[in-house]
Every structure is written in C-alpha cells, then in structure tokens.
Structure 1
Amino acid sequence: MTSATPLTLTVDPAVRALAPGFTHLAVEARGLVNGPSGEASSALLDDATRRLAERLDGRAPHEDPHIAAWRAAYTAFGAKPSRTRNSAEALARRALAEGGLPRVNRLVDLYNAISVAHLIPVGGEDTDHIHGGMALVRATGEEEFETAAGGEPVVEHPEPGEVVWRDESGVTCRRWNWRQGIRTRLTGESVNALFLLERMDPMPLADLRAAADELAGLLRESNPGAEITVREPA
C-alpha cells in the first residue's frame, strides 16, 4: 500500500495560550474495513467500562483530575462544563449509567472503548471528507458547522471565541471535543480515518502515548491489511 501525505494538524497559538497543558496525538489509518457493531467491538466496550470503574474507584468522572482539567479549559473559553461536557466525561457517564455505552459501528466502538478505558477525549474523522488540513482554533463565530436536528440537516455557527477543530470548509467538532459534525464522522463506508487523542495536564504524556499505542494495536488486529501510523505533534 502506498503511503499518502499525512494530514496537516495545527494548534493555534490562541488555544495554546488558553490551555498550555494541552497535547494531542494522532493515529492515522488507511485501508480500514468498517461495519456494524459485533461481539468483538461490544466486548471491547464492556471491558473499557470495567477498566473505567476500577480507575474511578467509586468517584464520579468529574472528580478525576484529568476531567477536572478539561472542565477548567471549557470554562476558560466560556462553555459551561456541566452542560456541555467534554467527550471523555460524557462517555464515561454513559458507561456507568444504566444501559451503558451505545454500539455505533466497529470503528466508533473501538475508539470509544479507548476513550472510556483511558478517560481521555478521542475522536474519529473520515479523512476522505476532510478538506485541506485540520486546525484547532478559537472560532470567529462565522464558521459553518454541519449537524442534524430532528433528523434533518442543519447548519450552526460556533460562539465567538469557542475552541473548535476545523478544516478549510468549516467546523468538524464544536467546543473542542463536545460534538462532531456529520460531514466527517466515521460511517460504515469509511476506509481512511484520523483518530485524535487529547490530554491536559496533569495526565502524563506517557499515558496518552499508551492509549494511542493501544488504539493502533486494536486497529492493526482488526484490520490486518491497513496502514496504521501514530503521529506526535511537530
């Protein structure tokens, strides 16, 4: 398989100033085979829930120091962290609630399992639908965000100053990692993907690397013909 040019990922200085302790890693995958959730992906989610419960040891997710740091970052750009939770906290709450984690598709189940087991935000993007590079910026409020409401497609706009991931066409994820847009989400037809893993101090960078390595290993195991690369920011 011929390697493609890596997707450009940048973090704007304004975001660095807002959260100096932020770091991300990327896992790029090409030649994936996605499909409906199955026994294997469901087992990964169940094991992740078990690992999360052991990690928290009776505490609520927001009492974990890493999630507390994400709440502080959300507050810094004007979001209400108890109302619009970062993706790691939201998934952790669902994992521990009655009914547990949703089953979406194999790739989404896989990265959700890593998010829950390591209590870190993880997102998955279909790189065939990303236009140009991706950047983490503070929004002007004029950017377009494609989502759905009541089952119908709608276009929203982020709040001025909101931290968002975006590409050349618009916002791909609002409020840092709160809500992903429909344009770049992973579907049953996705074959090329970018997985973003994010941390704040005080989580050690080594813990983020361990999560990325685990994700890469699971992708290789379930997609033996795929090309998987773990990338650190330049």
Structure 2
Amino acid sequence: MNKFIIEKSFWDIFPEANVGVLILKNVNNMRETSNNIKKLLEESNKEAKKHLTEEQFSHNPVIAVWREAYQKFKTKKGVRSSIEALLKRVEKGSGISSINPLVDIYNSASLKYGVPCGAEDIETFEGDLILGVTEGNDEFYALGDEANSPTLEGEICYRDDKGAVCRCFNWRDGQRTMITENTKKAYVVIEYVNAEKNKDIEKALEMIAYYAEKELGAEKSALKILNINENTIDLI
C-alpha cells in the first residue's frame, strides 16, 4: 500500500507545521459542474475578500505568513503560494472561475478559509508520495508547459518515484498527477506553517468532503492532520 510521508528535511525547516490530508474515493468528476458548485464558488470568491483587509496586499496576514515561509527554502524566482495566487485574482476583481467540479470545490474551500489547498489523482502516483527537501532535478511538467522544469536543489516539493508532483511547497501542480474528469481517487492537502489554522484546515477539508459526497458521489476514505509527531498516512 502506498503512503504519504513527510520527511525529516521538511520538519527541520517547519517544525510547527500542520498538513491536513483528505482522501476521497469513488469520485465522479465527469459530471458537468452543477449550479450548486457554481454558486459555492461564486460565494467563496466574495467571502475571500475578508482576508484582504490591509491596503497593501502583502501585509495581509494570510499572504505575509507564506511570503515569510517561502524565504526559508530554495524556490524559482518570483513564485508564490497557491493561496496568494487565488487572492491576487480576487483583489483584482477577476475572481476564480470554474475549472472542473472537484477543483471548484477545493478552490472554494481555499478561498473561504484562506488556506492553500491542492489535490492530486492518487492513481497516477508511482510509489510513495513524499514531502521534503529535494536534491534537485526531479522531472516536472507544469500545467500547460511542454518542456521539463526540474526541481532545484534545496527546494521543498511533493514527489514520487517518477518526479515532482507539486513544486515549491504549494506553488504549482504538475500535468502528470493533476485532477481531471477521469479522477476516481483523490488526495487533497492543506498546509500551514504552524498550528494557528488547525480548526480552519479541518473545517475546509470537511467542507470539501461534504460537497464531493453530495455533488460527485465521493466517499471520504480518510481525513487526518499530520504534524512532526505523526507524519505518515496510508493512501487508502
């Protein structure tokens, strides 16, 4: 049975981090995005404005905490956390548009609770999924790219036996493991660099599980918040 494992190299940098994991099975993501999900995403785009109370975008706590975190490991120049990318679009007034049902659901949770949220297709993994500091040169094809963009030495990333799954902590997923209409089993993850958002992480994951079950017929196989003392979960 494959596992998700958080390596010591990650905890050496973020010893107080918490990583929430939700595993969904029997997902039917081939459906058209329902009106309920569209409404959820629309409402979450509006609600996300509560995270943007400071005049200067980078001074908002939900942004500042990740700007600081990204100073602690090697990254590609100019990359930002996924929650910053979402909230930047909200600030500009464009908001987040529909992609596919499951992605819309987890983007809604991300916007509502102000936490970075990502998901991958478990059935595309080769071996265990690892979060840690990489030695570099892990194969990675970003969404929409035709050229390999390998990881850097000292970069935090999610990776499996074939290469990188998500680069620069929670910056960007790759083509190989992305959620598609054919996804049946999904790994959903929310990270935070300390315990301040644990309740929000749990609420966000429960929200995703609820709508995935209601709208996509999915089943919640596991939900767990990992930390330095409990850093592994089976990808059941």
Secondary structure at the counterpart of residue 141 of structure 2: strand
Shift of the 115–223 alpha-carbon distance from structure 1 to 2, 3 Å rule, reads: same
Secondary structure at the counterpart of residue 156 of structure 1: coil
1:231 and 2:231 equivalent?
Answer: no
Shift of the 13–207 alpha-carbon distance from structure 1 to 2, 3 Å rule, reads: same
The higher-RCO structure (CA 8 Å, 6+ apart) is 2
Matches within 5 A, 1:170-189: 170-189=163-182
C-alpha distance in 2 between matches for 1:182 and 1:198: 21
1:165 and 2:158 equivalent?
Answer: yes
Residue aligning to 1:9: 4
1:77 and 2:73 equivalent?
Answer: yes
Which deviations, in whole Å up to 9, do the C-alpha atoms of 1:108-141 show, x marking residues without a partner?
1111111111111111100110111111111111
1:126 and 2:121 equivalent?
Answer: yes
Residue aligning to 2:64: 68
What residue ranges of structure 1 are gaps of 5+ in the alignment? none
Residue aligning to 1:193: 186
TM-score (norm 2): 0.87
C-alpha distance in 1 between matches for 2:145 and 2:198: 40
Given residue 71 of structure 2, which amino acid in structure 1 is its aligned partner?
A: T
Secondary structure at the counterpart of residue 155 of structure 1: coil
Secondary structure at the counterpart of residue 142 of structure 2: strand
Shift of the 63–152 alpha-carbon distance from structure 1 to 2, 3 Å rule, reads: closer
Secondary structure at the counterpart of residue 232 of structure 1: strand
Residue aligning to 2:233: none
Residue aligning to 1:54: 50
1:140 and 2:135 equivalent?
Answer: yes
Shift of the 202–128 alpha-carbon distance from structure 1 to 2, 3 Å rule, reads: closer
User: Is 1:108–1:186's contact at 8 Å kept on the other side of the alignment?
Assistant: yes
Identity across the alignment (%): 25
C-alpha distance in 2 between matches for 1:33 and 1:49: 24
Task: Show structure 1 runs of 4+ deviating over 4 A.
Answer: 58-61
RMSD (Å), alpha carbons: 2.1
C-alpha distance in 2 between matches for 1:127 and 1:166: 12
Shift of the 60–212 alpha-carbon distance from structure 1 to 2, 3 Å rule, reads: farther
User: Is 1:10–1:134's contact at 8 Å kept on the other side of the alignment?
Assistant: yes
Secondary structure at the counterpart of residue 211 of structure 1: helix
Equivalent position to 1:154, from 147, 157, 161? 147
What residue ranges of structure 2 are gaps of 5+ in the alignment? 231-236
